[in-house]
Structure 1
Amino acid sequence: MSPKASKPLVPAKTDPAAIRNFCIIAHIDHGKSTLADRMLQLTGVVQPRDMKAQYLDRMDIERERGITIKSQAVRMPWEYAGETFAFHMIDTPGHVDFSYEVSRSLAACEGALLLVDAAQGIEAQTLANLYLAMEHELAIIPVLNKIDLPAAMPEKYAEELAHLIGCEPEDVLRVSGKTGEGVDALLDRIVEEIPAPVGQPDAPARAMIFDSVYDTYRGVVTFVRVVDGQLGHREKIQMMSTGVTHELLEIGVSSPEPEATKGLSVGEVGYLITGVKDVRQSKVGDTVTSANKPAEAIIGGYEDPKPMVFSGLFPIDGSDFPVLREALEKLQLNDAALNFEPETSTALGFGFRVGFLGLLHLEITRERLEQEYNLDLISTAPNVVYQVTAEDGEVLTVTNPSEFPEGKILEIREPVVDATIIVPAEYIGAVMELCQSRRGQLEGMDYLSEERVEIRYKMPLAEIVFDFFDQLKSRTKGYASLNWQAEGEQAADLVKVDILLQGDKVDAFSAITHRDHAYAYGVKMASKLKDLIPRQQFEVPIQAAIGSRIIARENIRAIRKDVLSKCYGGDISRKRKLLEKQKEGKKRMKMVGTVEVPQEAFIAALSSDEGNAKEKTKK
């Protein structure tokens, strides 16, 4: 992270008229990071010998999966019409779970490159990010990428894009992030079409924090966009939401490695280092101002991400609990959307209830905990947040089935989302059937072109978070793309299904589900556990119950010793006596015995993926 000590400080203050702040927005895998690579090469900020694919994806897991998780900001010079311009480019993630990264990047820009794959066309996330950019009133440059692919259809998708944005098909730029074709024309277009930042250079300093990361050696590195005034080296700054003051130990720009400068002025994007060790002290969306001459109004326009999905994370080895706590605290330093609190489970021991933005966020977090901190974890089935009104009028927030109140309930409200699905026309029936089975309400349908349709549904979030995306992909042969965003709450007929072993509730297997799906969940869980729990010395009933009403049952037969093996002939009453004695013993044992559920059975039963479950039980 540290710039070379021998390097002189870069002069502060770039004329705002020569600055262009923009980001790249697109669907997953449409080539944002590869296009960013070509820009870094063309502008000369990365030498050919240092160049590597997806240069800005710094995390191991980003490089391994080929996706962007953290947005990155880079400063690049560009010559146009004999003048040098300073570009601040922000490379953003494409996945719906990380759209909060996109929204805060947009708040720091005046323009956006809307990137579309020339072989795939507009996808659901393209539309979502476009609407986000329009809300921020950004100048939008439509770009078709991957024109070098044999399957590319630039003319067809240029028309789709032009129809969507309201421009002519000739205005859509055609580039190849892989070969570099058309990228220089795109950089020229950025100068022409994206407006220069506007601000008051002489006003009190105001800078918006759009990202903050934790560096092991230097503490928190805060990324800001200066709106008014200027910030200088060694100046005292103040965080406007908390009123806390710090001294600026270093201020600079990323190009793409950090370069210290004498300061930042109107429109510039850069980083601040104050030596603070806690990321929560430099909150994303907060306004930084000068402590000596503070500004009065904060900069609005950024909301904190709210967790949508909750899951319990428990270490398989109970002694790893402190390691898990420390690991989650470290991850939280770089991930503003992650929040957690301790919880205990009679079955799984001590762990944490963790809030995520979606299933990919959950998966990435879990993978990072296992890879970076060598932890073996069990995660419980993901739940959403319910608002439960008890009979006495008290409203409870339930993030876990174990928090579900006993007794009569007046109303349960569940989160709903607006889902947008883009799919080839021949799969409309399959998609509608899937959405109806998941309690979806059709909101509308539009043809983007003759072959492609945008279908909009209002759906309960609980029906989406588990395996909806997998089902959607398998029913449409992988062609459908999905995007969703929170749209408030609705009342629903929900019940809590408990799983009982030998009459005792096992909290890890409880679930909140719609009354119509409760029986199916009970039968599935009971039969799954029948196969997973080893036979005991006595018969074990597995029951699924709603309150005190049993809705499904399976029995695990007892292991029986052949007590008649030593009886060769003789009186039948002797054999009966031995069998009765065994029966009595089993009955007595059933009264005092407890069922031992092996850890592997928990892992397998809580896993949504059958194959994955079997693989884990083998380990």
Structure 2
Amino acid sequence: MEPSLIRNFCIIAHVDHGKTTLSDRLLHRTGTISDREMQEQLLDSMDLERERGITIKAHPVTMYYTARNGKRYELNLIDTPGHVDFSYEVSRSLRACEGALLVVDAAQGVEAQTVANVHLAMKQNLTIIPVINKIDLPHANIPLVRQQLEDILAIPADSAILASAKEGIGTDEILEAIVERIPPPQPTGAPSLQALAFDSYFDTYKGVVVYVRVFNGELRPGMQIRLLHSGQTYEVKEVGSFNPKPYVRDRLGVGETGYLAAGIKSPFEVKLGDTITDARIPSPALPGFQEVRPMVFSGIYPINTADYEHLKASMAKLQLNDPAFVYQPETSVALGFGFRCGFLGLLHMEIVQERLRREYNLDIIATYPSVVYRVHLTNGTVKEVDNPAHMPEPNYIAQIEEPIIRAYILCPNEYIGDLLLLITEKRGVVENTETLDPRRVMLTARLPLNEILIDFHDRIKSITHGYGSMDYEHAGYMPSDMVKLDMLVNGEPVDAFSCIVHRDKAESRGRLLAAKLKEVIPRHQFQVAIQAAIGGRIIARETVSALRKDVTAKCYGGDITRKRKLLERQKEGKKRMKAIGSVHIPQEAFIEVLKTG
């Protein structure tokens, strides 16, 4: 199709503001899907996406729409994830578009993710069309949302379209605005093909299927193509688009979005954001490429050790559809054979674990999540550590740097004091406080990434009774006084409970773990000491008392020395047992302690 009749756009919104419902409505209105095929959350194909009401993977879809001016347009919608963990995927999808529909809930107004996603879209110079959704709700406050668009996002309020995706109100106005306001794609003027690979998935028959947006030239079967960053050359077997199921086309021209299959065997050969070009006359790479790097690491082990091979095969399959997930084998004295896994963030970690449990029927246990620390050694080298077991000895460490995030927290005015306390408790600093409207404020804070790993988001929700929202971006590294906390049971370190914590918090965490272990470790014939240690210094201790047999039961009457003799003999036996006996920690104890985080 003529590039002047093509429009590429995406929909950006906070979670649950109606983004997926609006995309369903557009598909239905343009006749891309029939009434018979229509279902809720059509582009969310995973059960998890449907349950949680979130988009995890980007889904492109091509629609055809005849506008009021009589011309027939090709509209390419790229449905993007909204969550911060997938922000690189979002930025790749935005690179493939010229415009964005910004969906804001008429009842809830502008939220933290709305602000973050608009910043991403503005960085890419996209045309933004604001859509105030859910106007049919009884508590919708349209004037307030218009004011927020101007005050917070600097978007003219009179350009906003009023809509209700559920009721189908405003759908035609949105389609007309896409045609009129979003500019058509322009060729880049490069000597040959330039296409952006913004996503991929694995197909058993076709190999890796790459989602592409063509910026220059054309893509057709039989062409020899090269992936610039990985340097591999392939022959294109098939190209096509989605509606929303894939269908084959004879070519993809400038501005068009679709997929290509070229018999690529491994997803690692395709890097997200890579440039695809003609192998004979290569064009320069498109800007903005970066390697996807995991930020959060955790050990995943099968609860039943016989499931190890099944877990290994399941992780390999999962990685085919999610190249951002990385893993490598590791062993733990306590938990046996397992894997050290890297994730983009907390939601990504939760989703991978849930998919392993659900799609592959696995019983797994995950160790305490950690982040990547930069350890500066005394010999001048820098080592990246994501596992407490690999932390060098304290006498070799000159300085440790930990990753920092910048968090944007939106909350009602009355909860600001409690949130400031929470941020201080998590070693954070509030950089800026901005009043958004008479009811709400936005806090901008810098926090260490490892402090928000476990319960930070949940606590924001509980403090603000569900009205608070948060989004974050990575903000580099900062020197910090981090130490490795070891848990010793009967003098032996237990690697599954080791973690890297800030020195100020080491003692309270050591006490907490020691108390928890005291509850779950069964009693033995001898006393068991549970200790928390930093290096050679013990900072907390609990004792599991010994099982006691009444050896004096057979003494009735007679001299006291008989009883003493028996008790002394028992004492000697316990002493010898303590020296040679080993403590058995049952698997349930590990599961119990790791569950409490």
- Gaps of at least 5 residues in structure 2 are none
Is contact 1:200-1:229 (8 Å) kept?
A: no
Name the counterpart of 1:390.
377
Q: Taking structure 1 as reference, are residues 503 and 167 closer, same or farther at Cα in structure 2, changes over 3 Å only? A: closer
Q: What do residues 516-557 of structure 1 show as CA deviations (whole Å, max 9, x unaligned)?
A: 101101100000000011111111000011111111000001
User: 1:553 is matched with which residue: 541, 565, 572?
Assistant: 541
Deviation at 1:202, TM superposition (A): 8.7
Is contact 1:28-1:93 (8 Å) kept?
A: no
Name the counterpart of 2:42.
55
User: 1:500 is matched with which residue: 488, 492, 499?
Assistant: 488
User: 1:224 is matched with which residue: 212, 217, 225?
Assistant: 212
Q: SS at 2:370's partner residue?
A: coil
**AA aligned opposite 1:587:** K
TM alignment of 1:122-521, pairs within 5 A:
122-199=110-187, 203-292=191-280, 294-408=281-395, 409-521=397-509
**AA aligned opposite 1:307:** P
Q: What do residues 193-221 of structure 1 show as CA deviations (whole Å, max 9, x unaligned)?
A: 11100005894111110011111232211
Deviation at 1:239, TM superposition (A): 1.6
Q: What do residues 426-471 of structure 1 show as CA deviations (whole Å, max 9, x unaligned)?
A: 1111111110111111211111112111100111111111211111
Cα distance between partner residues in 2 of 1:248 and 1:398: 41
Structure-2-length-normalised TM-score:
0.97
Cα distance between partner residues in 2 of 1:202 and 1:287: 12
Q: Give runs of ≥4 in structure 1 deviating > 6 Å.
A: none
Is contact 1:107-1:302 (8 Å) kept?
A: no
Deviation at 1:572, TM superposition (A): 1.7
**AA aligned opposite 1:578:** L
Is contact 2:329-2:340 (8 Å) kept?
A: yes
Cα distance between partner residues in 2 of 1:462 and 1:259: 45
Is contact 2:407-2:445 (8 Å) kept?
A: yes
Q: SS at 1:296's partner residue?
A: coil
Does residue 41 of structure 1 match 2:34?
Answer: no
| % identical equivalent positions | 52
Q: What do residues 208-253 of structure 1 show as CA deviations (whole Å, max 9, x unaligned)?
A: 1001111123221111000001111222222222332222211111
Q: What do residues 543-582 of structure 1 show as CA deviations (whole Å, max 9, x unaligned)?
A: 0111111110000011111222232222222122222211
Cα distance between partner residues in 1 of 2:29 and 2:394: 67
Q: SS at 2:36's partner residue?
A: helix
Name the counterpart of 2:511.
523
Name the counterpart of 2:18.
31
**AA aligned opposite 1:459:** L
Q: What do residues 92-142 of structure 1 show as CA deviations (whole Å, max 9, x unaligned)?
A: 112221222211110100011111111111111111111000111100011
Deviation at 1:290, TM superposition (A): 2.1
Aligned residue pairs total: 595
Cα distance between partner residues in 2 of 1:67 and 1:384: 25
Q: SS at 1:607's partner residue?
A: helix
User: 2:565 is matched with which residue: 552, 577, 599?
Assistant: 577
Q: What do residues 456-510 of structure 1 show as CA deviations (whole Å, max 9, x unaligned)?
A: 0111111111211111111111111111111111111111111000000011111
Cα distance between partner residues in 1 of 2:252 and 2:283: 20
Q: What do residues 574-606 of structure 1 show as CA deviations (whole Å, max 9, x unaligned)?
A: 122222211111111100111111111111111
Cα distance between partner residues in 1 of 2:231 and 2:513: 52
TM alignment of 1:585-596, pairs within 5 A:
585-596=573-584
Q: What do residues 252-290 of structure 1 show as CA deviations (whole Å, max 9, x unaligned)?
A: 111111111110110000100112221122222111122
Cα distance between partner residues in 2 of 1:283 and 1:516: 41
Name the counterpart of 1:73.
60
Q: What do residues 334-360 of structure 1 show as CA deviations (whole Å, max 9, x unaligned)?
A: 212111122111111111111111111
Cα distance between partner residues in 2 of 1:60 and 1:229: 38
Is contact 2:221-2:236 (8 Å) kept?
A: yes
Is contact 1:231-1:265 (8 Å) kept?
A: yes
Cα distance between partner residues in 2 of 1:167 and 1:154: 15
Cα distance between partner residues in 2 of 1:592 and 1:191: 80
Cα distance between partner residues in 2 of 1:248 and 1:396: 42
Q: SS at 1:181's partner residue?
A: coil
Name the counterpart of 2:527.
539
**AA aligned opposite 1:296:** S
Q: Which deviates more from structure 2 when the two are superposed, residues 577-586 or residues 201-210? A: 201-210
Q: Which deviates more from structure 2 when the two are superposed, residues 548-557 or residues 140-149? A: 140-149
Q: SS at 2:208's partner residue?
A: strand
Q: SS at 1:423's partner residue?
A: strand
Is contact 2:94-2:124 (8 Å) kept?
A: yes
Q: SS at 1:209's partner residue?
A: strand
- Gaps of at least 5 residues in structure 1 are 1-13, 610-619
